[in-house]
A and B are shown apart, each in its own frame.
Chain A
């Protein structure tokens, strides 16, 4: 007799630790891949699983291997059809060997890609943004669900049993199967008792026996057909439904004049991604509107937004006007939560900055939940500007807006780690409201 062990209920993911170690090992390369995918992909796609190629560096496992390009070998192969000793076969071009061992594995490992879960992707993405842990956690958290009643199910936990429905089924089944009622049995027992009590047993004997056997039959049937059978039981079914969230629209405004180079756009993109991740946590549906501007502004798709260049001067207020008209047109502020993120290098045509500030102050800030402005500067410039309030005309003009409107945030960034402070207030508020819930 062998020893049987059912291991199926053992904890799963025995190799999770190994996977973590592996990802940590390949971290640098994976980070580069993710960065590249963020750069080239869509903003909304960051928050999903990613397919990545098997990292090469740091994860090779060298051993002493015979080289394929030297020496004499002999292969034994099955399935000879026409060869005679002395026949010569040309070798395949790429590989040195005649196809003996393991030719297939080398190729498949090259184009081998595997899936990183959403969590793992975000971890890699957050790495150099220096988000506080609590913010990371809340960004990684999935949308919250609330169970809602929806019909009945045949399985469930005992506390969800729907008694009414269960009893209805039980009643129907009992009727259909002719389960003897208690009254019938009681009547029989009574009659038997009455007959037994009668003095003249002989006359009633036959009847008594018949009654007894009938009683026994009924009782047997009653036992066989239970009052409540597992097939009767119904449970209340609950379906998880996402908590009703209002819609949000996110405006991405960017200066695309020639002064915005590859690095600036990459930083701007990370800034937009972060805002998008945040909104995705809070709102069920998010529209993203991309507005780019030079001396004139236009709404474009994501591809054009990040990748096509346009020449011209810089008039920032055109973008704000465009945004305003889109809001009036499609996103009434009563129904939509409006978020805006603007990235620029701070250049603006003389005299326009004041107009921008006025536009924001008087119109847009009343419509927007939040407005974030980042000025992307050269790393060398950080030293010059530092914490001073000097700066471009746009910066100076926006500073006055920031003073009057608490939901207006602005900062200068030169590297990814500096993006987060712009959002600090946003996340702080979210944490607070979470506590309130």
Chain B
């Protein structure tokens, strides 16, 4: 295909320099393919050009254009800056924010080819995912986040002015320590108005009346459980406080005995930020996979149409290859499974299965194999899955073989690890299940809940850690974090570790000085 690129009128750009005009031209070409061929559905885009310093700034404020001030962001900045200056780590080519309009940061150093790649990747791939994935739609409010952060920033600054930086910092430190326990995992964050709240209480009463059966009262009581008043009291107060509660920050915000209203508001801000990022952490593979698949498809399409030249395409392919590079486990560069590589491979595999399936694929994926309509399948997957379910649904034996995945089981007591499954007929299902499980954030983070508190008694806050697979907490961190909980609660805090399988008590720790 010896096209003389210099005279090719269809070419969108030539050379590596960019300006707003070319970016805009390329954007339009990409948009055409993205919307008409891939049928993506996106928020309006806002592309912002920033310098490398500004990118570093953005890194340290967790990637948001606005963020309140806190020393931990300064620490992160110093850290990132150091890595960057030493050349240990390059900066991202782009940063994209789940907001409406969707903000994409483009680095000024990028060449035109890179700007095109990044636009397709972020402004279309990520953007589509943010707008359509069920987790983002349910749990985050893209159109409100920026104004909320602006409010948060101003509010915290005004608190610092009124109550002093140290006082604000103390609350934020404690709140940050509980950020991982500050999200609603299983239910939507309560956003009900008081009107609806009342209605719900009424409904619940009605339901209780309807289902009331006098028969239950007549049941004989179990041996020693003479339902004493104390026990009834316990369950009553648990009910009043809606215990158990998985969201520690929410619980403390609503029920802490010592916090001032402004301090509760600070907890709320930290909680909202944590909740906003929670879907991102659950969809890393899918999100990056979607964006990578989209940019790969669009760039190839542009090239096929003769709208970008060989030089630019080579540059794009080179950086694409870098992004989806997966070193082996014994490679010194191995940082874990690369979400770009896995996500992209999964999406490409779906495309392959739907267009040229093998007999094996027909066995494993009867409903999509050979259907030919990979676009529909992908759009559906992007909308309705998170990493865990997506892998469980779509990881094919072919891909397991391609990555040569194997499962290593690690018993902390043993001096060795054991290979549990490999990429063979007997292992596929196990590998798939294990990989899927490793992306289940809720299962991999310690499950700590508020279970009881005696407000009329000693006011101790009882937390329970449901220990899964015998994985305990790092003690030093545990004690330090407990002190933060105590700081917010105002009275002593007791954490007990309970085996999730058999209910056995594994440990107990308290902030009370004995």
Chain A positions within 8 Å of B, measured between CB atoms, are 1-8, 10, 12-15, 17-25, 54, 59-81, 83-91, 96-102, 104, 108-109, 112-114
Contact = CB atoms under 8 A, between A and B. Distances in A.
B121 to A, nearest CB: 14
Given A7-B50, A15-B73, A67-B471, A96 B405 contact: no
Nearest to A25: B71
Contacts of B470: 70-72
B123 A63 contact: no
Interface string B36-76: 00000000111111110110110011000000011111110
Contact of B473 (A65, A73, A101): A65
Contacts of B474: 65-68
B179 A87 contact: no
A73 B177 contact: no
A75 B434 CA distance: 8
B108 interface: yes
A102 B416 CA distance: 20
A73 B28 contact: no
A61 B422 contact: no
A80 B123 contact: no
17 contacts: A15-B61, A18-B61, A18-B71, A18-B74, A59-B71, A61-B176, A62-B480, A63-B177, A63-B180, A63-B477, A67-B474, A68-B412, A72-B409, A74-B409, A75-B438, A85-B427, A88-B419
A18 B77 contact: yes
Contacts, number: 266
Contacts of B423: 80
Given A62-B476, A62-B480, 5 more contacts: A63-B180, A64-B448, A78-B405, A79-B403, A85-B426
A65 B406 CA distance: 26
Given A17-B69, A84-B422, A76 B406 contact: yes
A81 B404 contact: yes
Contacts of A2: 24, 27, 44-47, 123
B74 A72 contact: no
Given A63-B179, A71-B470, A5 B49 contact: yes
A3 to B, nearest CB: 4
B471 A66 contact: yes
Contacts of A7: 48-50, 54, 105
A76 B123 contact: no
Given A1-B28, A78-B326, A67 B406 contact: no
B178 to A, nearest CB: 8
B202 to A, nearest CB: 38
Nearest to A55: B75
A112 to B, nearest CB: 7
Query: Closest 8 interchain pairs by CB?
Result: A79-B328, A22-B74, A71-B471, A18-B74, A62-B480, A71-B470, A77-B329, A21-B71
B201 to A, nearest CB: 33
A240 to B, nearest CB: 24
B54 A78 contact: no
B73 to A, nearest CB: 4
Interface extent on B, as a size class? 35 or more
B218 interface: no
Contacts of A18: 60-61, 69-71, 73-74, 77
A14 B473 contact: no
Given A79-B329, A101-B336, A61 B72 contact: yes
A76 B472 contact: no
B71 A22 contact: yes
A199 to B, nearest CB: 57
Contact of B422 (A21, A80, A99): A80
Contacts of A109: 79
Given A73-B469, A74-B408, A79-B328, A14 B54 contact: yes
B335 interface: yes
A70 B409 contact: no
Contacts of A25: 71, 169
A79 B331 contact: yes
Contacts of B327: 79
B45 A3 contact: yes
B20 to A, nearest CB: 6
Contacts of B82: 112-114
A67 B446 CA distance: 10
B419 A79 contact: no
A31 B453 CA distance: 43
Nearest to A8: B51
B484 interface: yes
Interface string B440-484: 000011101000000000000000010111111111111011001
A88 B418 CA distance: 5
Interface string B10-44: 00000000001001100110000000000000001
Contacts of A114: 78-79, 81-82
B306 interface: no
B171 to A, nearest CB: 14
Contacts of B233: none
Nearest to B173: A61
B437 interface: yes
A76 B440 CA distance: 13
Contact of A71 (B74, B326, B469): B469
Contacts of A85: 419-422, 426-427
A76 B108 contact: no
Contacts of A6: 20, 48-49
Given A75-B438, A76-B431, A83-B419, A64 B181 contact: yes
B417 A91 contact: yes
A179 B216 CA distance: 110
